[in-house]
Amino acid sequence: NIGAYGVEIKDFFHELEAYHIQSGEIHKFSAKDCAFGYRESVFKKSLKGQYIILSVTFRLNKHPQFNTSYGSIEEELQKSGIQELSAKAISDAVIRIRKSKLPDPAQIGNAGSFFKNPIVENSLSEQILQDYPQAPVYPVSETHSKIAAGWLIEQCGWKGKRLGNCGVHEKQALVLVNYGGASGQEIFELSEKIISSVSEKFNIQLEREVNVIR
């Protein structure tokens, strides 16, 4: 259930077809069957390793309601002189923003966003906002809020830091990079240090968004 800038796959998902590895059968899954959550689905939990997803069908809105309030989309649209909103204009803006912040895997090894944005109780997010009024906190329910993991990591001093052949990207603290020659174990150990730092400073336990194969 990937997502960015306030939109997730589940918002437009209709169904998918998947190949069952053991039986060789093709099965269809509805949104309910997939049990989508924040960066989660049944394929990362109870059915992990059992299926290969072959195709996905999306249901798009012919008259979409545009949301430009998330992140820096509105600023990017203004910078580009966009007067009339369209799905294409917003898509292009998001792509430009992502390219400016995320390193190209073809040039420097990375897996994109390494950690999930943590969802915490409002009591904790309110406490953080008292100490850091500009903290990127987004309400997700009446009782919980989401905090940008990259911001938490940056506040712990990790942004741009390098340990041997791996490190944290200089423009986006959510991305861990391999400068060449770093082993998977080195990347994992770096992520453990980051998780520990955030836990100590904010009492928040970061979760990895990537799949770790050991």
Report the catalytic residues.
Answer: 39, 113, 209
Query: Which residues have a Cβ under 8 Å from the Cβ of 145 and sit 6 or more positions away?
Result: 119, 120, 122, 125, 137, 138, 139
Which phi and psi angles does 199 have, rounded to 5°?
-60, -45
56 in helix, strand or coil?
A: strand
Closest CA to 16 of 37, 3, 38, 1: 1
Buried b / exposed e along 108-145 (16+ C-beta atoms within 10 A): ebbeebbbbbbbbebebbeebeeeeeebebeeeeeeeb
Which phi and psi angles does 116 have, rounded to 5°?
-80, 150
Q: What token pair was written down for 139?
A: 């309400």
99: Cβ contacts below 8 Å, ≥ 6 apart: none
